[in-house]
Structure 1
Amino acid sequence: MVERLAAAHEPEDMMRENSQEAEPGSLAQPKRYQFNLGAKLFAARHTFRQDVDGRLLLYSPDSPGLPLIVPNAMGALLDRFAEGNTMLGSMQGEAVHGPQFQELLRNINFLYERGFLRDAPDPRRYVPHGPDKSRPPPEFDAWVHVNNNCNLDCAYCFVGHTPEAMTSAVASETAQRMSLAARKYALERITIKFAGGEPTLVLPVMRHFVECLVAELRGTKTELKIALITNGTHVTDKLIEWIKQDDVSVNVSLDGYGDDHDVYRVYKTPQRRLRVFGGTSGSDFRAGDEPPQRRGSWKKIVENIAWLQAEGIVPNINATISQESCGSLAELVKWVFGSGMRLCHLGVVRQPGSSWERTPDLRGAFDRYNNLLIESFDRALTELERPEYFLDLPSALTIAELAFDNPAPDICCGMGTNHMVVRHDGNLAACPMTVGEDRFEPGDSDLIETMQRTFTESARDRGDDGECLSCEWYKVCASGCPQANKRFFGHSFTKSPLCRFWKFVIPRYVTFFGRKLVQAEQRVQRTGGYDEQGV
């Protein structure tokens, strides 16, 4: 048990721990605690409670930590502090001696340490501050956009499919800049995420980039992690060799299951010229010369995933769920975890109908989209609540940019703080969605300073009446994607058009998490431990 509080004689302290060294050969003495019984504590305003198979699920969305399964008595104990109470006042006539009293104090400390009890009442609204940019981040991740070209033609893609690709000179220079930042700021970790376009089409560029960065980081204590974000259609022997050699994490992007995936993820097909008789605009066309229907990529991706697994490479799945593909989400997660894969990220397309146009029916379009997302995610989570799925949560299943284990710093991502997008020309962008729009030149400044310049808007400057700041889930979603908010409403920090979906899926996921905790506990009780799939 981690103690955050020190000596009991200080007014703000609730308790302290005293330990005694055991005599050689004797049983270790149990820990003993001294409490300030006059310390006043308050129940957190936004604690989420749910009965899960006769057990109590607790979750504090604005405190670090994941959902917990606790004895039902914890709920009654929390209620004693609803309006504020001292520890002595919470005892309700119980004797201040004996094991029951000690257990009560330990339970109070447990609730305090995990953010369910607090030193002062919570304000009715959150006060946004945003991430702290006064100090450099201990680590950063870089979305390295190595090319624009792709062999697929997804309608919602934010990348202009042009022939440009990162050159060896740009790769070397970028690696050097990253190394300089690592040395200047003593970075703990750099995570490279190769993306495009389709990055597997320029394998030599990725190889060269990693070779340069590994060489540049020699002599530092900076850990380097490499990830590949691919559509999964272009797997070769050379790619597999590189993945193994550089310990690359493979992330395959999918849209849905089977035919739903193929709605958007289709191969490019050259536009077939129509043969015109007579050469006039009113001429007839030969029936056989009409443009063919473009071929979907699902079948090829499934084959390539099986190939990777046969080579000992277990890919992660990045699912991009759209209005058109969400109907098969339950089938998709069933296939993912039933096929030996362990990690699945469920993202959502930001715009209904894959269009950023502000149509007159925009509100109605989002209402319909929210409804579809709610229905599909509920079915998917219901499927995964079946006991046969033994998942390593929370990493096994993540949803969009929702921050379940650590409160979001008033923005849902690390844009401008610890996340950078490196364009194919070596310049930076704020977000993968703006890679074709932003162009921040590093120049003579270091990469961290340039990254901070890519996004300078403040969460203090909101474009609405602050409704989000009173919401119990604000610290999980942080008003959703700022780029999408700005495109639709002209302001980065405003109520998300997917708000209704977030308000559904956050508590739904927390309940799902609690049910998987109970199942894991029951599994341990039956087997005496976790199997090879356990956490």
Structure 2
Amino acid sequence: MNYVLNQGFRLGVRPTRGHGDVHFVTREDVDGRTLVLDEHSSALIEILLRDQPYEPDAADVEVLERLVLEGIVSKTNAKKSPPQFQAENLQFWVQTSDRCNLACTYCYIPSLNSAKARRSDLFSLFGRKLLGVKGLKSVSIKLAGGEPLLSFQDWCAEVIKLRETLAEADIRLNARIITNLTFLNRSIVEYIRANDIGVSVSLDGLSANNDRNRVFPVSGHGSFHIVKKNLKVLRESGIKPGVMITATSENSAGIHELVESLVKEDLIFRFSDAKGGHIRPREFEIAFADVKQTLARAVAAGYPVSKRIVVSDLRTLEPQTTPCSMGTTGGALYLDGSVYFCHTEFEKGSPLGSLDEDVGLLDIIRRGYKKHLGLSMDCRACEYRFVCAGGCPLFRVNGKSPMCSAYKKIIPQIFDLYDEESARV
């Protein structure tokens, strides 16, 4: 069987701060389909470009078949057949309920507080679909909403059943609860601890700074005092949660105070810009500069910053062509079994498909890949093409992230911190 590079693709190398020389293959058209290459893949494409006969060995064939699935390479003298996608790891947002007890100013879940109920067979059907994924070794799910802990009793046993079902096929299930942590009881704490469930808590600042955005709908009161109390309960129970910080125009100036507290607690956290115009690029840039001062002091004292903080969707640890796994190895599962590209599209956008379809789960997921395409020419030529990856594709303007100017200032500062960390090792 011979392999050929598909028409229009070329090899490229992009010197990138923090990643060295990034090798990639790209098509010079309006879509700009691009794939970051490892050394083996790059070498094989160079061979194909020479257009000379050669016999690939078994290891070469495995790589070439992956490139065929990605649409980069084709097999000559082969019958046309649908691609048989495979993946070792999958990531899913699982909507447990649309019900929520907060009214956050920047909420991006369009189905919030709908009256829809979760179908009773959602987890079992999901499990059967996962078992059909070729090569699968692990699945990571985010149990989310709404506020998932409000419906804890409805899904807690289903998650354990799903884990047991997958374990029988040697597939590991990693589960994490995405919560505002305004509701917590002893049963939930014991469940988290006994079943090794991760917890990520939304918290946007200390005291009043958090309460500018995260409030209860009827009273208008802030949520910080309750979250602080429940965080203490988790820590005293031996549970170490992660924290998700969302920066808006209202709270950005005080985020560095929260970060200082998280550093002292040695908690992993993510610091993100609120999507949809809730913060201006310059405000986010200034907020990060304040955060960086706190982190720089911590790094000087031995803080492992590269293992503790993620900034927005920036790929600072490993170069990638997309800012997230959605449309490649990730998706969002809604209450009715619909599979969406992203949870920000529930009930607003069109689903990629459904668990009820008689097609593979990866086939459904990959229908969303095209949403990542169409980067602006500025993005394609940018030094940070494989760090920013154009930002969230659902919020791009003219093919680029509205936070472009801020990201260009922030990315080198992150790598400065990494360099300082490495110098101390």
Equivalent AA in structure 2 for residue 158 of structure 1 = Y
Q: 2:113 aligns with which of 134, 152, 161?
A: 161
Q: Which whole-Å CA distance do the structure 2 matches of 1:447 and 1:389 have between them? A: 46
Q: Which whole-Å CA distance do the structure 1 matches of 2:21 and 2:233 have between them? A: 41
What is the CA distance between 1:198 and its match in structure 2? 0.3
**What is the aligned partner in structure 1 of residue 4 from structure 2?**
none
Equivalent AA in structure 1 for residue 306 of structure 2 = P
Aligned: 1:170 with 2:75 = no
**What is the aligned partner in structure 2 of residue 401 from structure 1?**
313
**What is the aligned partner in structure 2 of residue 423 from structure 1?**
334
Equivalent AA in structure 2 for residue 327 of structure 1 = A
| Contact preservation (8 Å) 2:104, 2:215 | yes
Q: 2:232 aligns with which of 288, 294, 306?
A: 306
Equivalent AA in structure 1 for residue 391 of structure 2 = G
Q: 1:249 aligns with which of 167, 174, 198?
A: 198
Q: Which whole-Å CA distance do the structure 2 matches of 1:171 and 1:204 have between them? A: 14
Q: 1:62 aligns with which of 22, 27, 30?
A: 22
Equivalent AA in structure 1 for residue 288 of structure 2 = F
**What is the aligned partner in structure 2 of residue 188 from structure 1?**
137
Aligned: 1:319 with 2:288 = no
SS in 1 for 2:285: helix
Structure 1's 497 and 236: CA in aligned 2 closer, same or farther, altered over 3 A?
same
Structure 1's 482 and 174: CA in aligned 2 closer, same or farther, altered over 3 A?
same
What is the CA distance between 1:510 and its match in structure 2? 0.3
**What is the aligned partner in structure 2 of residue 451 from structure 1?**
365
Deviations 1:426-460 (A, max 9, x none): 1111112112223322311122211122443462x
**What is the aligned partner in structure 2 of residue 364 from structure 1?**
none
Q: Which whole-Å CA distance do the structure 1 matches of 2:20 and 2:317 have between them? A: 9
Equivalent AA in structure 1 for residue 105 of structure 2 = A
SS in 2 for 1:347: strand
Equivalent AA in structure 1 for residue 361 of structure 2 = L
Equivalent AA in structure 1 for residue 104 of structure 2 = C
Unaligned runs of 5+ in 2: 1-12, 25-38, 40-45, 47-66, 72-82
Q: Which whole-Å CA distance do the structure 2 matches of 1:458 and 1:320 have between them? A: 23
Aligned: 1:376 with 2:345 = no
Equivalent AA in structure 2 for residue 396 of structure 1 = R
Deviations 1:436-489 (A, max 9, x none): 223322311122211122443462x44x4x01122111110011110011xx54
**What is the aligned partner in structure 2 of residue 506 from structure 1?**
411
Q: Which whole-Å CA distance do the structure 2 matches of 1:333 and 1:63 have between them? A: 35
SS in 1 for 2:225: helix
Aligned: 1:347 with 2:275 = no
TM-score normalized by structure 1? 0.63
SS in 2 for 1:62: strand
Q: 1:219 aligns with which of 146, 154, 168?
A: 168
| Contact preservation (8 Å) 2:142, 2:176 | yes
**What is the aligned partner in structure 1 of residue 100 from structure 2?**
150
**What is the aligned partner in structure 2 of residue 441 from structure 1?**
354
| Contact preservation (8 Å) 2:131, 2:166 | yes
Q: Which whole-Å CA distance do the structure 1 matches of 2:414 and 2:241 have between them? A: 23
Highest CA radius of gyration, 1 or 2?
A: 1
Equivalent AA in structure 2 for residue 154 of structure 1 = C
What is the CA distance between 1:308 and its match in structure 2? 0.3
**What is the aligned partner in structure 2 of residue 108 from structure 1?**
none
Q: Which whole-Å CA distance do the structure 2 matches of 1:389 and 1:430 have between them? A: 41
| Contact preservation (8 Å) 1:430, 1:451 | yes
**What is the aligned partner in structure 1 of residue 43 from structure 2?**
none
Structure 1's 225 and 156: CA in aligned 2 closer, same or farther, altered over 3 A?
same
SS in 2 for 1:386: helix
Structure 1's 247 and 381: CA in aligned 2 closer, same or farther, altered over 3 A?
same
Q: Which whole-Å CA distance do the structure 2 matches of 1:510 and 1:310 have between them? A: 34
**What is the aligned partner in structure 1 of residue 257 from structure 2?**
331
| Contact preservation (8 Å) 2:304, 2:421 | no
RMSD: 2.7
**What is the aligned partner in structure 1 of residue 296 from structure 2?**
385
Aligned: 1:210 with 2:159 = yes
Q: 1:517 aligns with which of 417, 422, 425?
A: 422
SS in 2 for 1:421: strand
SS in 2 for 1:46: strand
What is the CA distance between 1:61 and its match in structure 2? 6.7
Q: Which whole-Å CA distance do the structure 2 matches of 1:247 and 1:138 have between them? A: 21
**What is the aligned partner in structure 2 of residue 76 from structure 1?**
none
Equivalent AA in structure 1 for residue 412 of structure 2 = P
**What is the aligned partner in structure 1 of residue 15 from structure 2?**
46
SS in 2 for 1:190: strand
Q: Which whole-Å CA distance do the structure 2 matches of 1:253 and 1:193 have between them? A: 13
Aligned: 1:132 with 2:70 = yes
Q: Which whole-Å CA distance do the structure 2 matches of 1:390 and 1:168 have between them? A: 49
Which stretch shifts more, 133-142 or 372-381? 133-142
**What is the aligned partner in structure 2 of residue 263 from structure 1?**
212
Percent of aligned pairs with the same amino acid: 24
SS in 2 for 1:176: helix
Q: Which whole-Å CA distance do the structure 1 matches of 2:282 and 2:155 have between them? A: 41
Q: 1:412 aligns with which of 323, 333, 345?
A: 323
SS in 1 for 2:307: coil
What is the CA distance between 1:268 and its match in structure 2? 2.1
Q: Which whole-Å CA distance do the structure 1 matches of 2:307 and 2:131 have between them? A: 29
Which stretch shifts more, 387-396 or 344-353? 387-396
Q: Which whole-Å CA distance do the structure 2 matches of 1:209 and 1:446 have between them? A: 22
Q: 2:221 aligns with which of 275, 295, 303?
A: 295
SS in 1 for 2:244: strand
What is the CA distance between 1:259 and its match in structure 2? 1.2
Structure 1's 242 and 45: CA in aligned 2 closer, same or farther, altered over 3 A?
closer
Number of residues paired by the alignment? 358
What is the CA distance between 1:495 and its match in structure 2? 1.9
Q: Which whole-Å CA distance do the structure 2 matches of 1:195 and 1:389 have between them? A: 36
What is the CA distance between 1:375 and its match in structure 2? 0.9
SS in 1 for 2:132: helix
What is the CA distance between 1:376 and its match in structure 2? 0.9
Equivalent AA in structure 2 for residue 188 of structure 1 = K
